[in-house]
Structures are given as structure tokens and as C-alpha cells.
Amino acid sequence: VEFLYCDLASMKSIRQFVQRFRTKNCSLHVLVNNAGVMLVPERKTEDGFEEHFGLNYLGHFLLTNLLLDMLKQSGTHSHNARIITVSSATHYVGKLHLNDLQSRCSYSPHGAYAQSKLALVLFTYRLQHLLTANGSHVTANVVDPGVVNTDLYKHVFWVVKVAKWMTAWLFFKTPEEGASTTIYAAVSPEMEGAGGCYLYNEERTKSADIAYDEELQRRLWTESCKMVGISDEASRLP
């Protein structure tokens, strides 16, 4: 195991990380997009993005795009490279506000978090469409880890914290249990060549209906490219 620092809330840090990784001249077979914050008070990343959207979504969007050529080079017909993005069941209640992705008009921690998680599902489906269109040996899937007992809940109300402390042993997954579906998506032979799936408890299931809106997927992708400063090569594809 080797550690390389990368701050997903900083576009500069992400680009520096990719440069350092490239110098190692390694293959890249699995990329897991798993960083995140939840229900944080209204605040911005160093690039001026609302933190949920900037860290949970845009950071992973940029990182994945900058590493995509290495993933394509590493994948083969019999062993596809795999991209696994961790979303949440919260995406089912999320709404994507294309005219206000930064939640400037009306900030809600719950709304901003849900929007970032919905964006990750839309991103995954669009990414898989583009990978398939290009004939790439790379698959992209999205995972719902379930309710996991981690420090992600440190910004919830104290009443919820107390309830969590009292019931975690009964209702919450351990971190190891929460990671199982991500690991399944990353290494299971059953997932070889399968992309564009929403996985929960190591099974393919249906995501929110809005996530299958291909026009919304395209519009989010295009806007995301503008926000992180990369070219939208996908605009030339259907």
C-alpha cells in the first residue's frame, strides 16, 4: 500500500495528485470514488464551490476524467478496468437544480447533500454511455453502501447523534459491512464487463427514475466540464 495525498475539495490538489500518479507509470485497474461530506453548514471549497457539490461530486468528476486515459490503457477485453462511485439512497429524494448547482438561492444541508449524491448517479450513467460509445474496456458503476456507522454523521443534530449512539449496533452497518458492495463491484467476476449498474447489498437494483434521464445526464456533464475547466469531448457523441 502506498499513500498519495489528494484533497478532493481542491481542483489544484487533484491535478497535482494525477501528475504524481502519472510519474509512477503504473497501470490503473480500479478507481473508487468514495470521499464525501454530509450535512455540513453552508461553506465553500477553495475554488468557490458549495462544499457538498464541490467535494462529493465535482472532485470525483475531475479526478475520474483526468485518470480516464490511464484506465482505458489498463483495461483489456477480458479484464475491464473498473470505476466505482459511492452514492447514497439519499439520491432518491435529490433534485438537480441546473440553474443553481451551488445552492446559492436557498441553502439546505439535506438538499445539497442529496443533490450531490444524485449527481454522482447521473455522472456514472453518462460515463458508462460514453465508455461504451468509444469501445473502451472500462466499466462504471455506482454503489449504495447503506447506512454505515462512521464519522460522516458528525454534523447532524445532537438528538440524532444520541439516537445513532443508542441504535447503531442494531440498525447501522459496520465500516467493513458498508464497504462490501464497493469491493464486490471492484473485484467480483460477476461484474466483469457490466457497467451502468446501481448496486446495493451486492445486487443490481433500480436507482431514482430521474437518474435515467439522458438529457439531464448530458446537461450535467457539459456544465461540470465548464465548472472544472476541462474540454467536453463528449459533446461530439450522442
- Catalytic residues, by residue number, are 113
Query: In 3D, which of 80, 59, 186, 58 has the Cα closest to residue 132?
Result: 80
C-alpha cell recorded at residue 44: 465553500
Helix (H/G/I), strand (E/B), else coil: 196: coil
Query: In 3D, which of 53, 1, 28 has the Cα closest to residue 220?
Result: 53
Q: At what angle do helices 59-74 and 109-133 cross, to 10 degrees?
A: 20
Query: In 3D, which of 67, 44, 121 has the Cα closest to residue 230?
Result: 67
64 close to 35: Cβ distance less than 8 angstroms? no
d(CA 132, CA 214): 15
Q: Quick one: how far is CA 155 from the chain centroid?
A: 21
Q: How many residues does the chain have?
A: 238
d(CA 42, CA 52): 9
d(CA 57, CA 221): 11
